[in-house]
Amino acid sequence: MAFQNHIHQILDDLFAPLICTIEFEVDSIDELVLILKESEQTDMLRRIGHCRKKVLGLVRLLGTQISIEMTYQINDILSRLTALGTILIS
């Protein structure tokens, strides 16, 4: 069990910068999504899709080695991206 905890810690340390970058992108999308003109919404949907693709790629890469804390972060990011996409499509 200690070995698995060590692996989780290493993976968290390695992928934490990527997760922070994705969270920053989601925050910037969140700030922009409500003030966009209709012509700019297509670009924002692309950004949302790109972020989702990064997150899902990360989940596939890590597989079962993902920690509980990182799982919560990733689920939060995906939920926020889904909500933002829904706002734009409505």
Q: What is the pLDDT of residue 55?
A: 85
Per residue in 11-20, pLDDT (tens digit) is: 777 777 888 8
According to DSSP, residue 86 is labeled: H
Parse the chain into domains and list their residue ranges.
Answer: 2-89
Q: What is the pLDDT of residue 54?
A: 86
Global confidence as pTM: 0.71
2-89 — its CATH code? 1.20.58
Q: What is the pLDDT of residue 1?
A: 59
Q: What is the pLDDT of residue 6?
A: 66
Distance CA 22, CA 28 (A): 10
Phi-psi region of 66 (alpha: psi -120 to 50; beta: other; left: phi over 0): beta
- Kindly give the parts of the chain with pLDDT less than 50: none
Distance CA 24, CA 12 (A): 17
Distance CA 86, CA 29 (A): 13
